[in-house]
Structure 1
Amino acid sequence: MNTGLQNLKFKIQNLKWAISFIAFLSLCQTALAQKAEWVWYPGDYEIWLSNQMQNRRTERGVFFPVFWKIDNHYPLIDFHKVFELTEPEEVEIYVQGQYNVKLDGKAFEGYPRKITVPAGKHKINIKVFNQAQVPAIFVRGKKIVSDSTWLVTFEDKEWIDETGKTSDVSTTKWMNAGMWNFYDPKQLPSDFKLPVKPAEAATSTKESGGTLIDFGKETFGYIKLHNLKGRGKLAIYYGESREEALDTAHTETYDKLNIDQTGGDYTVDLSKAFRFVNIIADAGISFDKASMLYEYADLQDKGGFKCNDEEINKIYDVAKYTFHLSTKEFFIDGIKRDRWVWSGDAYQSYLMNYYLTNDNGTVKRTTLSLRGKDPVTSHINTIMDYTLYWFLGVYDYYLYSGDAAFVKDNYDRMKSLMAYVLGRRNKDGLLEGLPGDWVFIDWAEGLSKQGAVSFEQLLFARSLETMALVADLVQEKEDAGMYAGLAKDVKKKLFDLYWNEQKQAIVHSYVNGKPTDHVTRYANMFAIFFDYLSDAQKKNIKNTVLLNNSVPPITTPYMRFYEMEALCALGEQNYVTKEMKSYWGGMLKLGATSFWEEYNPKKSGAEHYAMYGRKYGKSLCHAWGASPLYLLGKYYLGVKPTGAGYSTYTIEPALGGLKWMEGKVPTPAGNIELYCSTNNIKVSSPVGTGKLVLKSKKAPSSKEGSFVNKGNNVYELTLEKDKKYEIKYQAL
């Protein structure tokens, strides 16, 4: 009897658990069904937001806007989607702008906040006008929700004839809606601001008639004055260095305020970059202390690196901090001066991102904001090479993320931009600067930009190869063939016209129908990691260019990035380790807490802060200074995708003189983890099919798999996902 009761109770408990579980699943399904988000025309919000950000720049109290063409969002957008319902449902509608709502072509009166949609198949149209902000909608029902599957257009090409018949709209270009994690109807996209958190100063001292505040390291945000009292003038002079903050006649940025306060806290309106602030106030003004609100992009580190060399660890950590400081709504160049979206700077940030935060959203926003609208009337940022970097960035994004949809959605934008580039070739089919073009390459004294520069042809060829790859991805076979043919032609001209057999190098330029005999590092190092050279040519260039002190040295982290990459691609990690410690370590020895826009070891003292003819014009926190993140991830840990989204990848660890290293490289499915010493490797991956490539004095061994001997002390092991491997070997 008791046993029977116990069995009955057990069955009832199981039944209750099953009912609860079913109810839980139903709630989950409902929650998932209600996952609506704000949506807009793709690229429009990104353009609008970048306009807001880039036009916040000031220099010594003067508004300092960008000097290239900036585009605007489309003010009138049509949103629609077809739904099929098994039962009627009530739908909430939130809109930024004036709007109308149609169901199956029939308009509702006024500005409805809720509509009821009957059971059956129905088409909802919402047309929105907003000149000041981006037209956006948030629609929420049980099944009817706004998301990226909605279709949008800026011209529906619809008209009605005299009989009332609606026109053919087959020529309307519809796009999938854009979005960015705005899941609350009250969280208006136009109200977006980066988060802030309070931070205290390290020291505060009275100096030169003011209060000098030191926050201990380079930082970015809003100065906050506590218990501010009095009436009069107060000035805040910002400095990335102590010298800059105290030199009130030359500091790059300041705030001059008229104060009328009886107490309470006061926060300045505009965020700035600084380590030091010098506060000078009229005699009748007082405050208890100054702190700050640190402004940041809330991105979490997924990748990481650590080794036995503490100096390398410090360089990695400061590179990581530099990257985070230079990541805002978009990837920007630096935090003090410009705070603009420069394509060359952004391209390097993309690569660093893939090995640290692996945030697709910031890459896509930056890519879209740089591209802007058609028609194309100038190069991106007015710089020829920056347009070409943009193409490379699109394909790299696909390779690291596997996000084919984004690439396909932007193929038309790629085509029209490339059409502009092709239209600016000279009679030889090469790119050279035309009126209005800025050929940048690098900040380097005396660097000639005359004629058709070989570096531009390198980027041009790679951009055309990118176009061929993307055209093939979107099944535009004729386009793919055309771009591949153009790329082949540019590469042939590159070596026919620029390769100097005597110098065993690519010369710098082709002027008035003749190659010059001047050799620079730029084209030569890019040709190495683009894999455009034979093994013999690579070896010769290493000696005649990269390791040749008579070739003008590079003094910006921007191009040191690529110089170190070329040397790593040649297997010179031991040399790169020394250079990293000398160059980036050199900045640390001078007290840098973030890496600079330019570093020349020959300068001394406050000379390091000068640039652009200004005493403190140089940025002491510049995105392109953070390249060790990429170098250590790709060429030391040795992890790189070979198929989209790491469907295939290689791991080719190189210690570069280190005794051991360990780290994580983020992928769309999680982290690849690696530990490597001179005789032991541990590796695991959650994604794709990998290939571990090792150089070992003798055949490596692993209980988890078998190595294939490729000759010359090179061995390969196939890696399966979700499997841990431990390998014994002897490093060369």
Structure 2
Amino acid sequence: MIIKKMRCWLLLTLGCLLLPMAGAMAQNQATWVWYPGDFEIWLGNQMQNRRTERGSFFPPFWRMDSHYVLIDFHKDFDLAKAEEVELRAEGQYNVKVDGKLISGSPQRFTVPTGKHRINIKVYNQERVPAIYVRGATIASDNTWLVTYEDKEWIDASGKASDQSGTTWLQAGSWNFDDPRGAPSRFRLITEPQRAANVAAQPRSMVVDFGRETFGYVKLHGLQGKGNLTLYYGESREEALATETCETLDRIVVDQPQKAERTTDMSKAFRYVNIQYDQGVSLDSVSMLYEFAPVLERGKFRCSDQQLNKIWDVASYTMHLNTREFFIDGIKRDRWIWSGDAYQSYLMNYYLYFDTPTVSRTLFALRGKDPITSHINTIMDYTFYWFMGIYDAYQYTGDKALVQQMYPRMQSLMDYCLARRNKDGMMEGLAGDWVFIDWADGLSKKGEVSFEQLLFCRSLETMAVCANLVNDKAGAANYQKLAADLKAKIFATYWDENKHALVHSRVDGKPTTNVTRYANMFSIFFGYLNEAQRQDVKKYVLLNPEVPKITTPYMRFYELEALCAMGEQSYVLKEMKSYWGGMIDLGATSFWEEYDPAKKGAEHYAMYGRPFGKSLCHAWGASPIYLLGKYYLGVKPLTAGYDTYLVEPNLGGLQFMEGTVPTPQGDITVSCNLKQIKVKGAAGTGTLRFQSKVKPTSKGGKIKALPNGQYEMQIAPGSEYVVTYQALQSPAVK
């Protein structure tokens, strides 16, 4: 039903989320455009300031930037014949053709035959300056150039300057293709939903919507005079705890006739405890489910029904937290946290491949110069931001995003480089939050090895992006900085006796403490040699004496490291135990934190509050990424899946099948103990697998590799069927 309504909505409503990232629009397709990042920052401000805590306004902890209020747009055209142009703008504006000002604020004007430049300057303090231009061949799109300062002057004779130091960028855009659908009108869509169960009492009712959800509560047949309060709960216990539940709404009722009333703000809940005065009556309750209509392209099914359930709950968790941006959790913060978002990007590439939400989130997180703190005030979250841009390029092949982001990357990296200590390491300074993970007793003192690893990866990202924008000097500098830091990391932290990277160095001396964080990242960053990889697997990742990780946030990376080491069978058992454990406790979406040792309502407590924990947190959806990348085994080898690898690993399953989305179509994989089927829509793929016997394939040429491995090239548009015999791990119970 939702999918059907989504299709109708796409045809009828403005501002949808499903179209591909701007940059591949049809010829002469006009769309609203703005200064890159400004709409994203403005929209982020709107969303993040909706958070409330027990009815009180609760804004973000960090500096909030705003859009530039005056923007100059221009583009050059060569017309075969004169053309009438329609213009709409958000804000006050003027128009120049070839430098000559047109009187007034024309909604239509004519551009003569030949070569001409159109300039449009827009001012808007309240909303983002944006334009929509449409003619027979002239159209506003992201090939227009924009600036927030034109740096020109006029001399005493009236002559304009011959040169300018203005920096022009390509315009930002999304999918606002209707001239009436200005960006400031964007809203998520809603769909009516009924309650699953209602327990009514005199002057109260407890409404259960059946699973975690998000939206507006709708009160039917509301009548009378008095007060009504809605206490929201992700659990029944929270909804009934009127003094300690996290969110609520208070409504003053003055309604002589029966009427419908919808709450002003959307909220997260499963249960709603509604209490009202004796002078108030209420017939029934429903809700308007609010969501972003992203299309679920990624799929996974296998022989293990519990794992299928884990995939379904993970995808629903991801759906709830994919909104205007990738947010952390729907109940409490509803903010854009870089560490949470980084994992959402990766899960998104295996579920939706919705690139506009990635770019919006990156722009909103970065904000504007000058930089006065780390992103979200957290050192590691700054580094995740850099890494997110690298992954966006690797998965999508979109150079335009890198080009728009590169100046912002440079200034943010300059900020980081300026905060190094005398030894060239990153260490928490005043105002820095060194987060790493929610873990009791985890030291953040001194130079933490985990932070140096993320810093090194960020410098490598800078080098890659510098090359993409042809900044050769910058690329060489960043690469040298990364290589020097990497050498220093292993000289400082690698302990031969511990067979691992130690956690930190304090006052110039490495500690003896070993944690999982730096060690597991060093595996999938490719920083370890084979002997070190095996040591880390044995002495850290599979060592019960090393403190365990209890958050889905860092379990994501721990299990990725194990998958990268070929431990899919072990990881499958862990997923079934950990995520399956939440489902066994009744979870309908995955939580911010899960400790199997806790009992009952203890599971809902966090931050010193009985219901502080989020029971729908984006980072809980990580099985999506793990199953797509390490079981179906699909990943890009070069940008935008121009070349890619399919390396299926059953990991104890009897069969599995699924779909992985890419920029140009889907890759489908089906695998059991005797047969593999693969089809890719575009790009050149490599199927790699192991077999006990010599495999065969119709239409594919199989190449033998050492250690029982085989490879076969996958051409676009053709399905390949391989007959083989799997090297199978014991079935997972």
Q: 2:226 aligns with which of 219, 222, 232?
A: 232
Provide the secondary structure at the position in 1 that maps to 2:438: coil
2:182 pairs with one of 177, 181, 188: 188
Query: Out of 558, 573, 578, which is 1:578 matched to?
Result: 573
On the 8 A contact 1:156/1:169 being kept in 2, the answer is no
Please list, as runs of the form range in 1=range in 2, the aligned pairs for 1:191-206 lying within 5 A after superposition.
191-206=185-200
Residue 64 of structure 2 is matched in structure 1 by: 70
The equivalent residue for 2:708 is 713
1:716-727 residue pairs with structure 2 within 5 A?
716-727=711-722
1:345 matched to which residue of 2? 340
1:20 is aligned to none
Q: 1:110 maps to which residue?
A: 104
Question: Hey, what does 2:151 align to over in structure 1?
Answer: 157
Alignment deviations for residues 610-639 of structure 1 (CA, whole Å, 9 cap, x no partner): 000001000000000000000000000000
Specify the SS of the correspondent of 2:549: coil
Task: Give the secondary-structure state (helix, strand or coil) at the position aligned to 1:496.
Answer: helix
Q: Does 1:412 align with 2:410?
A: no
Task: Kindly indicate whether residue 44 of structure 2 is the aligned counterpart of residue 50 of structure 1.
Answer: yes
Change (3 A) 1:226 1:635: same
In the other structure, the counterpart of 2:89 is: 95
The change in CA–CA distance for 1:715 and 1:485 in structure 2 (over 3 A counts) is: same
How far off its partner does 1:220 sit? 0.1
Are positions 1:455 and 2:450 aligned together?
A: yes
1:704 has 2:699 as partner: yes
SS of alignment partner, residue 410 of structure 1: helix
Q: Is the 8 A contact 2:30 2:141 kept in 1?
A: yes
Between Structure 1 and Structure 2, how many residues are aligned? Answer: 702
Superposition pairs of residues 241-390 of structure 1, within 5 angstroms: 241-261=235-255, 262-390=257-385
Letter in 2 for 1:244: E
Deviation at 1:32, TM superposition (A): 5.9
Q: 1:212 aligns with which of 191, 202, 206?
A: 206
Distance 1:701 1:534 in 2: 34
In 1, Cα distance between equivalents of 2:617 and 2:567:
26
CA distance in 1, matches of 2:439, 2:635: 31
Q: Which amino acid aligns with 1:135?
A: P
Contact 2:132 2:179 in 1 (8 A): yes
Letter in 2 for 1:572: E
* Alpha-carbon distance between aligned partners in 1 of 2:111 and 2:709, rounded to the nearest angstrom: 66
- Residues 320-348 of structure 1 deviation map (CA, whole Å, 9 limit, x = unaligned): 00000000000000000000000000000
Bigger Rg over Cα: 1
Query: In 2, Cα distance between the equivalents of 1:326 and 1:208?
Result: 36
Output aligned runs, 1:443-592, within 5 Å. 443-592=438-587
CA gap 1:33/1:659 in 2 versus in 1, 3 angstroms: closer
Tell me the residue number matched to 1:432.
Answer: 427
Give the match for residue 421 of structure 1. 416
Distance 1:60 1:572, change over 3 A: same
Deviation at 1:654, TM superposition (A): 0.5
| Structure 1 residue ranges without an equivalent (≥5) | 1-30
Q: d(CA) in 2 for partners of 1:394 and 1:33? A: 28
Which of 395, 408, 416 is the aligned partner of 1:400? 395
User: Corresponding residue for 1:5?
Assistant: none
* Structure 2: segments with no counterpart, 5+ residues: 1-24, 728-733
Tell whether the 8 Å contact from 2:314 to 2:589 is kept in structure 1 after alignment: yes
Q: Distance in 2 between matches of 1:223 and 1:572?
A: 46
1:707 Cα deviation from its structure 2 partner? 2.0
- Coordinate RMSD, CA, aligned: 1.1
Give 1:209 shift: 5.5
Alignment counterpart, residue 611 of structure 2, candidates 600, 608, 616 = 616
CA contact (8 A) 1:672 1:686 kept: yes
Quote the Cα distance in structure 2 between the aligned partners of 1:664 and 1:329: 25
Deviation of 1:34 (Å): 5.2
> How far apart in 2 are the matches of 1:102 and 1:263?
56
Work out the CA distance in 2 between the residues paired with 1:208 and 1:317: 38
Q: Do the aligned partners of residues 323 and 32 (structure 1) sit closer, same or farther apart at CA in structure 2, a change above 3 Å counting?
A: closer
Whether contact under 8 Å (1:201, 1:290) holds in the other structure is yes
Q: Which stretch of structure 1 is more off in the superposition, 242-251 or 409-418? A: 409-418
SS of the equivalent of 1:396 reads: helix
Structure 2 contact 203–277 (Cα < 8 Å) conserved: no
Displacement of 1:169 in angstroms is 3.9
Q: Does 1:678 align with 2:704?
A: no
The letter of the residue matching 2:375 is: I
1:141 Cα deviation after fit: 1.2
Using the TM superposition, name which of 406-415 and 640-649 deviates more. Answer: 406-415
> After superposition, what is the alpha-carbon deviation per residue over 1:348-401, rounded to whole angstroms, capped at 9, x for unaligned?
000000001001100000011111111111100000000000111001000100
Q: Distance in 2 between matches of 1:532 and 1:119?
A: 60
What is residue 18 of structure 2 aligned with on the other side? Answer: none
Whether 1:130 aligns to 2:141 is no
Q: Secondary structure at the residue paired with 1:492?
A: helix
Q: C-alpha displacement at 1:236, in angstroms? A: 0.4
Name the residue aligned to 2:19: none
Write the distance in 2 (CA, Å) between the matches of 1:242 and 1:433.
Answer: 41
Question: Cα distance 1:701–1:68, how it changes in 2: closer, same or farther (>3 A)?
Answer: same
Q: 1:653 aligns with which of 645, 648, 653?
A: 648
In structure 1, what residue type is equivalent to 2:381? Y
Change (3 A) 1:87 1:684: same
Comparing 719-728 with 608-617, which one deviates more in the overlay?
719-728
Matches of 2:192 and 2:297 in 1, distance apart? 24
Cα distance in 2 between the residues matched to 1:319 and 1:71: 33
Match of 1:28 in 2: none
- Inter-CA distance 457–207: structure 2 relative to 1 (3 Å threshold): farther
In the alignment, what sits opposite 1:16?
Answer: none
Partners of 2:695 and 2:458 in 1: CA distance? 40
Q: Helix, strand or coil: the match of 2:216?
A: strand
Summarize deviations over 1:142-194 as a string: whole Å, max 9, x none. 11211111111000012110011101343100011111111111112111110
1:562-615 alpha-carbon deviations (Å, 9 max, x no partner): 011001001000001100000000000000000000000000100000000001
Compared CA separation, residues 34 and 691, structure 1 to 2 (3 A): closer
Paired residue secondary structure (1:358): coil
In the alignment, structure 1 residue 40 sits paired with structure 2 residue 34: yes
Percent identical across equivalent pairs?
A: 64
Contact 2:203 2:278 in 1 (8 A): no
**SS in structure 2 at match of 1:365:** helix
Q: CA deviation at 1:698?
A: 2.0
Q: What TM-score, normalized to structure 2?
A: 0.95
Q: Distance in 2 between matches of 1:530 and 1:338?
A: 30
Separation in 2, partners of 1:476, 1:66: 35
Match 1:167 to one of 161, 166, 169: 161
Structure 2 partner of 1:21: none
- Flag the 1:642–1:208 CA change in 2: closer, same or farther, 3 A: farther
TM-score normalised according to structure 1 size: 0.95
SS at match of 1:340: coil
Residue 626 of structure 2 corresponds to residue 631 of structure 1: yes
Q: Secondary structure at the match of 1:224?
A: strand
C-alpha distance in 1, partners of 2:268/2:102? 50
